[in-house]
Structure formats: C-alpha cells, structure tokens
Amino acid sequence: MKNFIAKSIKHLQKNSRQILTINQRKIHLDITRNSQFADLAHFESILDKQGVVTNEQVLHNHNNDWTHKYQGHSKLLLKPKTPEEVSQVLSYCNERRLAVVPQGGNTGLVGGSQPVFDEIIVNLSRMNKILEFDESYGIVTAEAGCILQDLHSFLHDKGYLMPLDLGAKGSCQIGGNLATNAGGIHFIRYNSLHANCVGLQVVLANGTILDNITNLRKDNTGYDLKHLFIGAEGTLGVITKSAILCPTLPKYKHLALVSCRKFEDVLELLKKAKLQLSDILQAAEFMDQISMEAVNHMLGFKNPLNKEYPFYALIEVASNNEGKSDSERLFSLLGDTENIVATLKYDISLSTAHYYKIVEEVRLLILSSHEFTDTEKQLIKVTGYGHIGDGNLHLNVAIPGYDSSSLQDKLNAVVDPFVFDYVKNVRGSVSAEHGIGLQKAKYLSYSKTPEMIEYMQHIKDIFDPCGIMNPYKVIMDSKISQ
C-alpha cells in the first residue's frame, strides 16, 4: 500500500495545479500544494480491515461533496472505531507530517470536509453510538459519527428532541454538526450548538485526547475550550464525542404559511411574531416566489396557496399547550429547498434592512452586466430564502441545466466580489451557518478583523503546530503554507 500511495502522491504533487476540476479552478488556483504532506503507511496495524479503505469507487464518494462542487484526491480513507484509534492515527500523522481531513456525513456546502489534494480522510461514521441519556437534565451523550436523525428518533421516544434540525439530518453526523456549528430551522427557538453543547471530547493533532465530556448543566471552571472546536471545521482537532442539552418535545405544533406582497410585509409579520409569540416561536422562515417555483419544479410539489405571491413566510409555533396539530408538509418542503441545483450558494447574515435588498441588487447587477448575453440573463435565477428569524439568508444564483462552465465562470467573476463586498460593507457575516471551509477561506477577513484572525492563527498553532489538520481550510495562511 505504501508504494501505491507514495506513487499517487508524487503524481499529485507534480500536477497539483492541473488536477482540479473546472468547477474548482476559480477557487483553488491560488493554492500551492505543501510538499510536506507525503508518505503514508501502516494504518492496518492500528485499525481493523474495514477501517482502512483504498478502494477508488468508495473513495470517490468521500472525495466529492454532494453538490459536486468540490473534488479531492485522497487515496486513503480511515474509519476508526474508538477515540484511542483516532488518537493513534493522528499522532502518527503528526509525526510523519501527513495531512488529515476529518469527515462526518459529508453534507457541508463549503468544501470543508473534502480533501483538497490527497489528505487522508478520517471518517467518523463507525463511531455512531448513542452512549447515554441523562433524563434529569435532558443531556444526550453520543459518539461523533452518530447520524442526527438517529438522535432525533432516540430522543423522540423519550419525550425529547435535538435542538438542531436541518434538511440533511438523515445523513449528517453530530460531530460534523458541531465542527461546522450547524444552524438549521430551530435556531431561533433553541439557539446554537455553542449554547447546547455541554461537553466535548476532541483528539488533537498530536494524539492528545482532550476529554471534557460532562453531564453537568453548569460548569464554570477555567477557560471553556470546547467552544474553540465548535465551528472550527476540523482544523483544530477531531471531535469524537459530545454531550448535548436537549429540550423536551413540544406536544403541539402550529404552522402558518403566509403570503406577502412586499418584503416589508414579511418583516412586519416577523416583528409581530417575535413580540407576540416569542415564548412558543419555533421557526420563522422565508422564501421568494422564484424559490417556491424551484421547489415545486424540482420536487413535484404544488404551491399550497394555489396562487402566486412575491414572498412567503412560514411561522411555526410549538408548545405543550393543548391545541390542534397541523400538517408539517410545508415545513419539510422548505427544508428541502437545499436541493435546488445552483452554481452559487451564499449563506449570509444581514440586518433586516439589507436582508432582501441584496437579492434585488444581485438581480440588477446581472441585468446590467455586459458580461452576459440577453439569453444568458434569462437563464440565471436569483433566489432568496432562509431563516429570517435569525437574519440568515440563503441567496442562490442558479442556472437550470448547469453545464456551461464559461457561464459559471462569468457568474463567479461578476457576483462573487459584489456579494462579499456588500456583506462586508453592511457589517454582515459571509457565513451565517455553513462555515468557512475551502470556499470562503480567503473571505474570512470580510467578517473578522485582522487582530481576530491573528489570534485565530495563534490558536491554530497551539492545537495543530505542524498544520496537519484540514489544511487549506478556514485559515489560509496557516503554518502549512510556510
């Protein structure tokens, strides 16, 4: 195996700028491969047979993301079964300067869990056990590879639910959710994973197992290190276990899908919902007509209102107050809109004043651009939808058909700088919930000051001094580029 991998790495090194797919070209062109990352072997002695995968077909799935936007070239997939195995793998990789990509359910949207070159994939899917449930505080302890849906099912039977709910829950894993600080639909009610994660076990680059697994609701002793790993996208260590605080299952849910003629009406509705329903408000979502059309087209659904409106808002409330239960169909429909085929997907955070304005401005930008022909302008669909209750907009610029790389290149060139500058100028965030990954690593400075980034780099140096953990992601100018 050693030879085989060494050979492939040599090939990759030589061709590192050529092997990237067309879609990736614009993103990766400025990354030079770090020649430190070479030579791997002997993981068979640490892991069992199923734990060491070199099969190309299997690797293909783990090298690619589900939107087919990012493609890595790893030749080795490791699937450890215990934190100790993860520790042995990392400690070996650290000594040998082998780069590693931690991977959960691989459902991310910013290329955070795919290798860029031939980094070793450490996939957590075999560590998928629910370990404990503390009924007195509602704290569930599980291994990192546990599928989010499995946690939901487990907790449902006990009268609890996971605070996190999102479209990919059938395949995403809790470790990946934590590593990316996933947001989702119920963020407005139950807050972020920073709020709900009470304990974490992490394996650091040098193999150290940092054990902060606890069932305690409160613990105020020393620096709260676990928050560093929540949202660090595997660049500081591999999350192996977590303890999550779970709310009890509300008995009754009510949903309202509201049509609006103006975006201002959506905002007015949100304001009222927050003030009048705040204690039971479970979700506040929004979509425009083009998003609605796209969902209906892609999934064969029908607009439940039987008439078109420029905007739609969805308000969900949930409580233990007795009342009629309502259909959740529309709601899951909204969650599924992630399946729209799109070339550009933005996940941004803006104040309400700018929330929808940016969608309109991007439409204007494309219409007024000389880069596109009139036919092309017709093809491009700019849609906005998202968790308006949290100020989180999913701005998509989609080209149905999606096979013209030159059209896409033009789109990147015109829209990308505009959106990122817009967000920077209004002090928004270039990543509300999807993270930084590979896609936005060069845009980190659009949401964080140079001083913040400098200290992030110091933190990176502490936990991953050799820079083996998920290189090229989140912080670009890490040790690996020296």
Residues 434-473 close enough to bind its own copies by CB under 8 A: 434-436, 440, 444, 447-449, 451-453, 455-456, 458-460, 462-463
Count of C-beta atoms within a 10 Å radius of residue 39? 12
Contact criterion met (CB below 8 Å) for 314 and 218: no
User: Kindly report the CA angle at 260 between 338 and 189, in degrees rounded to 5?
Assistant: 55
Binding segment (CB under 8 A) for its own copies, from list 6-14, 30-38, 57-65, 186-194: 186-194
**CB closer to its own copies out of 140 and 399:** 140
**Residue carrying structure tokens 């004043």:** 353
Binding segment (CB under 8 A) for its own copies, from list 29-37, 227-235, 300-308, 410-418: 227-235
Long-range CB contacts (within 8 A, 24+) of 410-414: 410/371, 410/372, 410/376, 411/343, 411/344, 411/380, 412/26, 412/343, 412/344, 413/26, 413/371, 414/365, 414/366, 414/369, 414/371, 414/372
Count of C-beta atoms within a 10 Å radius of residue 325? 11
**CB closer to its own copies out of 123 and 196:** 196
Task: Of 166, 185, 186, give the one whose Cα is nearest residue 176.
Answer: 166
Binding segment (CB under 8 A) for its own copies, from list 28-36, 368-376, 384-392, 400-408: 384-392
Among 309, 429, 442, 479, binds its own copies (CB under 8 A): 429
**Does 339 interact with its own copies (rule: CB under 8 A)?**
no
Site for its own copies in 236-295 (CB under 8 A): 236, 247-248, 250, 267, 270-271, 274-280
**CB closer to its own copies out of 122 and 228:** 228
Site for its own copies in 395-424 (CB under 8 A): none
Binding segment (CB under 8 A) for its own copies, from list 92-100, 398-406, 414-422, 426-434: 426-434
Number of residues located near its own copies, criterion CB under 8 A = 91
**CB closer to its own copies out of 118 and 433:** 433
Tokens of 419: 């959106």
Contact criterion met (CB below 8 Å) for 471 and 34: yes
Among 22, 29, 131, 225, binds its own copies (CB under 8 A): 225
Q: How far is the CB of 212 from its own copies (least distance, A)?
A: 6
Site for its own copies in 151-180 (CB under 8 A): 159, 180
Residue type, position 235, single letter: T
Beta bridge partners of residue 130, listed in sequence order: 142
Site for its own copies in 69-88 (CB under 8 A): none
**CB closer to its own copies out of 116 and 266:** 266
If you count DSSP H runs as helices and E runs as strands, how many of each does the chain have, helices first? 17, 15
3-state secondary structure 458-469: HHHHHHCCCCCE
**CB closer to its own copies out of 320 and 373:** 320
Task: Of 110, 195, 186, give the one whose Cα is nearest residue 152.
Answer: 186
> Pattern of binders to its own copies over 119-158, x per CB under 8 A?
---------------xxxxx--------------------
**Does 322 interact with its own copies (rule: CB under 8 A)?**
no
> How does DSSP assign 116-152, residue by residue?
SSSPEEEE-TT---EEEEETTTTEEEEETT-BHHHHH
What residues contact 278, with CB distance under 8 A and at least 6 apart?
A: none
**CB closer to its own copies out of 273 and 411:** 273
Site for its own copies in 192-221 (CB under 8 A): 192, 194-196, 204, 208-212, 214-221
**CB closer to its own copies out of 32 and 248:** 248
Using CA atoms, how far residue 238 sits from 63, 90, 116, in Å, is 18, 9, 18
**Does 433 interact with its own copies (rule: CB under 8 A)?**
yes
**CB closer to its own copies out of 232 and 468:** 232
Binding segment (CB under 8 A) for its own copies, from list 45-53, 297-305, 350-358, 407-415: 350-358
Distance (Å, whole) CA 233 – CA 226? 13
**CB closer to its own copies out of 156 and 271:** 271
**CB closer to its own copies out of 304 and 323:** 323
Q: How far is the CB of 283 from its own copies (least distance, A)?
A: 14
Contact criterion met (CB below 8 Å) for 406 and 443: no
Contact criterion met (CB below 8 Å) for 366 and 380: yes
**Does 230 interact with its own copies (rule: CB under 8 A)?**
yes
